[in-house]
Chains A and B, each alone.
Chain A
Amino acid sequence: MLILPELNIFLFSILFLFISISNKKENILTYAKAISALVFFASLLSVTESGELFSGAYRIDLFSQIFKMLILLGFCLVTFMFENKNEIEDEYLPEYFMFLGFSALGLMMMTSSVELISIVISLEVSSYSLYVILPLRKSQTKIQIEASMKYLFFGAVSTGIMIFGMSYLYGIAHSTFLKDIIPVLPGFLNQPIGVMALIFTLTGFFFKLSLFPMHFWSPDIYEGASNTTTTFIGTIPKLAGAALLIRITMLAFPGSPQFINILIVLAAFSMTLGNLVGLVQKDIKRLLAYSGIAHAGYLMMGVLALSKEGNAAVFYYIAIYMFMNLACFYVVILLSKTGENVTIDDLAGLSKRSPLLALLLAVSAFSLAGIPPTGGFTGKLFLFMSAFKAGHLPIVLIGAVNTVISIFFYLNLVRMSYSKDVPLAEPLKLSFHEKVLCYLFIFLILYMGILPFGLFEIFKASI
């Protein structure tokens, strides 16, 4: 029962491995949808499990279990969002789901790892799977090759830096276990070696989160990869990245001014850069990439508070971010006719073509921008409050100004779909399951905005 979620997703991948080497390759999509749902619901049984494995290197607690459930839910939603018409050649579908599953497995392992080497291994498990599926795209052009190369190189570099930082951590504590590092590290945080060790180690997760300065990959990969792959890469790894960020920065309690200052600078650059460059984007996926960079910056506000509330706020925000980001990508997936990228101009007249889709886009865009009563606002409020409480007024002000800047392009999405009229707009018919998914996203975003206390308490308790 301890590793039920991991086991489930592992079996999922193995199943698709067997399908890929067999000759039966019909109805893959239906299988994938049904089984991923099964995997999610079966794994729910183990939410309350706790224990340790591999002589304490792998810890199962409420924190990791909730993150695993979120990752699985995200994985399941991505599978459900997959559209038959587009993107991946049919013959590669089994492999596609196999690697997607392995990647999710790696991410889930990350959330449970409390030892440096297992962190590296699980991070690589998830990354390597993604390296494989990134170039898979039906309309073969050059951009997805470039994208996958970039992802590979940047991934490798950030892993290298991370391992470099970890070697310092090991040098400080003479142990790879986080529980041994915790008591020693704060004493070193006033020295360059401690700060460097921690920052370098975090770089690997900055990469996953696409936080400045490890953000370079994201716009190109978002643009180059197929829509579904982007949906996965742009959303799910960030959960694991945030989880590890929370786990590792907890080491730094109570923190040193140097360390916090570095985080503040990174957060400020990340949001400002993401939002300013986001203003000029035409491709929606690219826009979402820059929005992701900006959101990584917001997220850091909770991290640098170095408090329990701050971490709970990060937890809450990454959860709501998953839903609103997936919702935005869903609009892209449904709008794209043959799997090509969607530009902002393609949104024109959306509210006439499909009111539900336009509503979904509006709700998720307002949520990304942080307008009440959506979850994006509540999450941002928690982040702002925890940073403010820790005495970081400047970063809160920068965040507030950034919120205003970001409104321009989020609102632009809504504006195109509502106030631009196109004469020949053919209606967009949504199937039943697509409608259900749209309503589910709208419900989740509003629910997390209006009634946050239950979830927030659970998240806080888990940390």
Chain B
Amino acid sequence: MGCERLKAMEQLIMMNPLDFPILSTTIFLPLLGALLILLMKNEKAMKVTGFITGLITFAVSLFLYFNFRTDTYNFQFGEHMQWIPTFNINYTLGIDGITIFLILLTTLLAPICILCSWTSIKERFKEFLFCILVMETAMIGVFCSLDLILFYIFWEAMLIPMYLLIAVWGGPRKDYASIKFFIYTLFGSVFLLVAIIALYLNNGTFSVLSASYKDYSMTFQTWVFLAFAIAFAIKVPMFPFHTWLPAAHTEAPTAGSVFLASVLLKMGTYGFLRFCLPIAPKASIYFAPLMITLSVIGIIYGGFVCLSQTDMKKLIAYSSVAHMGFVTLGIFSFTLFGLEGAMLQMLNHGITTGALFLCVGIIYERTHSREIYDNAGLGKIMPIYIGFFGFFSLSAFAFPGTNNFVGEIYVLIGTFLQHKLAGFLAVVGAVLAAAYMLRLLKQIIWGRVDKRVIADMNVREIIYLLPLALFVLWMGIFPRPFVAVIEKSLSFLMTQMRTYN
């Protein structure tokens, strides 16, 4: 393994063309807003400041998107600074096709989360906004970091605001849910840390790029892969590690559930793409049958559990297990189709499940119940709401013309190319998804007719659901722009894996 290759890898980071630390700005803008809010006394002013901070951050990330070059697989907008020279820890940032959309997703959802909590959070709004914005900083940081320690710090730092979101503003069993969430994820993370230190001792640096695409011994790869995979599988969550998820999702406030489902879970699958595959390609292939089995079990198990749920939020939470199963299935099919599908499904799940949680939040604010039977028969009373809810439900079970259809097709094609049986079982899971979503829809729309008077969605609520609905359509009808951006980076990943295998 020559040093030249490593040097070439370092050159993959294209330094910033703008001569301005645009990624750092994106990361730390929300933190700045959060600190501003700490100084404020007036609740209205806090809300507006928080929302505007979110919007500005989104605008900055849009700027990233429009200046993003799709003709290269290199990392872009790079930043590099020494941080802890003794241990060769650096502050290295950069984004590529895998991360750009995850950042956009995060920045898009942050203002939406603030908007959806406008009236539903009754107390301690200051701390709530602070947690949301700090978490946004940490999440963007995770996706931008190209230094393992920096990545780990953002990855862990995000636990604290999420824990507080559940523990302070959560539902009746918030205590249990928040601790379970924290301990589960932390358990995975310490193994991640050990793997990171092992990589450091092997490379003398924490650079993600130097760590990737090196020819490690099979034993080393196996251990590193397992340590990484425990952390990521808990975060995703894959089948046997999923038990923290329903509790955390159900007890979290709406904004927390949205962030949790839409972005936090993606950090796990992102980890597989960014670390497991490139750093331990041989081990990835060796363990792929196991991962695929777990994914398929997750898809089918999640589907069956969803069928028996009576709590809307819990149903959507369990459907996440199934949906994320598709993502990991795509990743470990090791085909370009599968990887692209996984990437698309990460986005789609973020949008669709986020939107569904928002919908549940809207109805919970009105009826204070998440039980399906308490909220039955809304078809006549809340037509606009049902319009949105129905639309997102269609998207959730991959109705053609919606975003999930595109993603699932990619994943399924990729899987069928490699593993016929897994592909077939995944199709069964997709059918299950239709079953439980339609069952939910049927109850909500046509169930027992009620004489209650419930106000339909107001303008604020329409405003924050509309962009998500538009995305669902756009992606469902014309996915080409999305695929174009992620294609280069993923095919590069494929070539590298082949080279080192």
Contact = CB atoms under 8 A, between A and B. Distances in A.
Interface of A: 309, 312, 351, 355, 362, 366, 371-373, 377, 381-382, 384-385, 388-389, 396-397, 400-401, 403-404, 407-408, 411, 414-415, 418-419, 452-453, 456-457, 460
Contacts of B190: 400-401, 403-404
Contacts, number: 83
Given A372-B156, A373-B157, A407-B183, A351 B149 contact: no
A371 B87 contact: no
Interface in B146-161: 149, 152-154, 156-157, 159-160
A388 B86 contact: no
Interface in B76-105: 82-87
Contact of B187 (A404, A456, A460): A404
24 contacts: A309-B86, A362-B160, A366-B160, A372-B152, A372-B154, A373-B157, A377-B153, A384-B193, A384-B197, A385-B87, A385-B200, A388-B194, A388-B201, A400-B191, A407-B186, A411-B163, A415-B178, A418-B164, A419-B168, A419-B174, A453-B82, A453-B83, A453-B85, A456-B86
6 cross-chain pairs, A with B, having the tightest CB-CB distances, nearest first: A372-B153, A400-B190, A419-B167, A372-B156, A453-B84, A388-B197
A400 B168 CA distance: 28
A373 B145 CA distance: 15
A366 B157 CA distance: 10
**Chain A interface SS verdict (over half):** helix
B175 A415 contact: yes
Given A372-B152, A384-B197, A396-B194, A457 B178 contact: no
B499 to A, nearest CB: 29
B384 interface: no
B473 interface: no
Nearest to A359: B127
**Chain B interface SS verdict (over half):** helix
B276 to A, nearest CB: 19
A457 B85 CA distance: 9
Contacts of A373: 153, 157
B84 A456 contact: yes
B182 interface: yes
Contacts of B84: 452-453, 456
A282 B160 CA distance: 23
Contacts of B183: 404, 407-408, 411
A419 B156 contact: no
Contacts of B182: 407, 411
Contacts of A408: 179, 183
Nearest to B89: A453
Contacts of A418: 164, 167-168
Nearest to A380: B193
Given A452-B84, A457-B86, A415 B153 contact: no
Contacts of A377: 153, 156
B193 A400 contact: yes
Interface in B183-242: 183, 186-187, 190-191, 193-194, 197-198, 200-201
A461 to B, nearest CB: 11
A456 B127 CA distance: 33
A407 B167 CA distance: 15
A453 B86 contact: yes
Nearest to A352: B124
B168 A351 contact: yes
A452 B186 CA distance: 23
Contacts of B164: 418
B361 to A, nearest CB: 20
B196 to A, nearest CB: 9
Given A385-B200, A460-B86, A404 B167 contact: no
Nearest to B175: A419
A411 B191 CA distance: 20
Contacts of B167: 414-415, 418-419
Contacts of B200: 385
A460 B182 CA distance: 34
B195 to A, nearest CB: 10
Contacts of A414: 163, 167
A271 to B, nearest CB: 13
Contacts of A312: 86
A371 B197 contact: no
Contact of B160 (A355, A371, A452): A371
Contacts of B179: 408, 411, 415
A244 B190 CA distance: 30
Contacts of B163: 411, 414
Given A355-B127, A384-B193, A397-B194, 11 more contacts: A372-B153, A373-B153, A384-B194, A403-B186, A403-B190, A414-B163, A418-B164, A419-B175, A453-B82, A453-B84, A456-B86
A414 B85 CA distance: 34
A414 to B, nearest CB: 8
A358 to B, nearest CB: 10
Nearest to A396: B194
Interface in B305-345: none
Nearest to A397: B194
Contacts of B174: 419
A408 B175 CA distance: 12
A404 B84 CA distance: 26
Contacts of A389: 201
A388 B191 CA distance: 13
B142 to A, nearest CB: 12
Contacts of B191: 400
A378 B193 CA distance: 12
Contacts of A381: 149, 193
Nearest to A309: B86
A141 B200 CA distance: 54
Contacts of A351: 168
A251 to B, nearest CB: 24
A269 to B, nearest CB: 20
Contacts of A372: 152-154, 156-157
Contacts of A419: 167-168, 170, 174-175, 178
Contacts of A384: 193-194, 197
Contacts of B153: 372-373, 377
